[in-house]
Amino acid sequence: MKVLKFILISAVTIFLSSCNNKNGVYDASGTFEATEIVVSSEGNGRILSFDVIEGETLKKNQQVGYVDSVQLYLSKKQLQKSINAIKSRHPEIQKQIAVIEQQIATQKIEKQRVENLLKANAANRKQLDDIDAHIALLEKQLEAQKSSLIITTKGLNEDVSTIEVQIEQLNDQLEKCRIINPIDGTVLVKYTEENELAVPGKSLYKVADIENMIFRAYLTSDQLTKIQMGQKVKVFADFGQETRDYDGKIEWISSKSEFTPKTIQTQDERANLVYAIKIGVKNDGYLKIGMYGQLKLQIEE
């Protein structure tokens, strides 16, 4: 009789449990994720400083270390000296054309004197023509010298511009020697240590924004008609002896179906194809990446 009673109670419990699931206490299940970024080295050299500890929280744009940049700095300094040397060769145009300009001014004064003498019939026309010819020659020499000096100056300026571009490239490389954290987040994994050699592309550490978690769930095609972007939902996380609920908001809905992942249970177990959705959830410090959870679409007021 006791065995029969135990079997009856067990059957009722299983029945109620199945009814509870069938009635849809939870509409879907999924896992918690976070935006993870693997920070890699952009510089080449020995890591002189690397202040990263697994589990610590970092701010966006916070410098966490730097790579040896002495050679880059010396190359930049050499280029700056080259610019100074080129600028020192710039011709002083005004000083170099001053002699010809003075000769032209002298000839114009002489021309005025001859014109006055010509009016008084104290000079002949040939003297004036000779002066005009001399002035025209000096003016052509002046223009030619100006053109030559301007071309020389432009060439030197182009040389300076080329070196300035090289300095900008070095400045960019120097900036990349600084290890900058890209997002507000927590360090998950540290891949390297101080004094190790860094090369471009080498992974240094992994950081994730675990304050703003993402709950990835899977819905059947029938359930898609019940949701929309920005809709508020309830997300539940099982911590063994207790279950915590979190307010969530649908941030993404997949436009393509996929086969149901083996680790995911759906409300309709007969459904082979499901649609992934992402729900933004604010972490209270208890949620962990990879943790399983459940989703309830209808929020009880």
Whether residue 24 is predicted with pLDDT greater than 70 in this model: the reply is no
Query: What band does 257 get if pLDDT is binned at 50, 70 and 90?
Result: confident
Whether residue 26 is predicted with pLDDT greater than 90 in this model: the reply is no
CA 216 centroid distance within chain: 27
H or E, element range at 57: strand 57-58
Whether residue 267 is predicted with pLDDT greater than 80 in this model: the reply is no
Whether residue 109 is predicted with pLDDT greater than 70 in this model: the reply is yes
Give the tokens for residue 71. Answer: 């050679």
Cα dihedral 144, 145, 149, 150 in deg (nearest 10)? -40
Whether residue 82 is predicted with pLDDT greater than 70 in this model: the reply is yes
Q: State residue 2's pLDDT score.
A: 39
pLDDT digits (tens, 9 = 90+) for 190-234: 999 999 999 999 999 999 999 999 999 999 888 888 889 999 999
Q: Which residues contact 279 (CB under 8 A, 6 or more apart)?
A: 214, 215, 216, 217, 233, 235, 248, 249, 250, 251, 295
Q: State residue 263's pLDDT score.
A: 58
Helical spans, DSSP H, in the chain? 2-22, 70-88, 93-119, 125-176, 221-224
Q: State residue 12's pLDDT score.
A: 34
The HSE-up count of residue 32 (CA atoms within 13 Å, CB side) is 25
Q: State residue 5's pLDDT score.
A: 40
Average pLDDT of the residues in 164-172? 96
Burial 147-158 (b: 16+ CB within 10 A, else e): eebeeeeeebee
Q: State residue 129's pLDDT score.
A: 87
Q: Which range (10-19, 82-91, 96-105, 137-146) has the least confidence? A: 10-19
Whether residue 112 is predicted with pLDDT greater than 50 in this model: the reply is yes
Cα dihedral 13, 16, 21, 25 in deg (nearest 10)? -110
Contact 179, 66 (CB under 8 A): yes
Query: What band does 266 get if pLDDT is binned at 50, 70 and 90?
Result: low
Query: What band does 1 get if pLDDT is binned at 50, 70 and 90?
Result: very low
213 closest CA partner among 186, 231, 238: 186
pLDDT digits (tens, 9 = 90+) for 278-291: 999 999 989 999 99
Average pLDDT of the residues in 55-84? 95
Highest mean pLDDT among 76-80, 282-286, 290-294: 76-80
Whether residue 4 is predicted with pLDDT greater than 60 in this model: the reply is no
Query: What band does 262 get if pLDDT is binned at 50, 70 and 90?
Result: low
Q: State residue 259's pLDDT score.
A: 77
Q: Is the pTM of this model over 0.85?
A: no
- Determine the Cα angle at 145 with ends 144 and 149, to 5°: 120
Give the tokens for residue 19. Answer: 């009814």
What gap in Å lies between CA 219 and CA 260, rounded to an integer?
Answer: 9
Q: What does DSSP assign to residue 260?
A: P
Q: What does DSSP assign to residue 261?
A: P
300 closest CA partner among 218, 252, 245, 223: 245
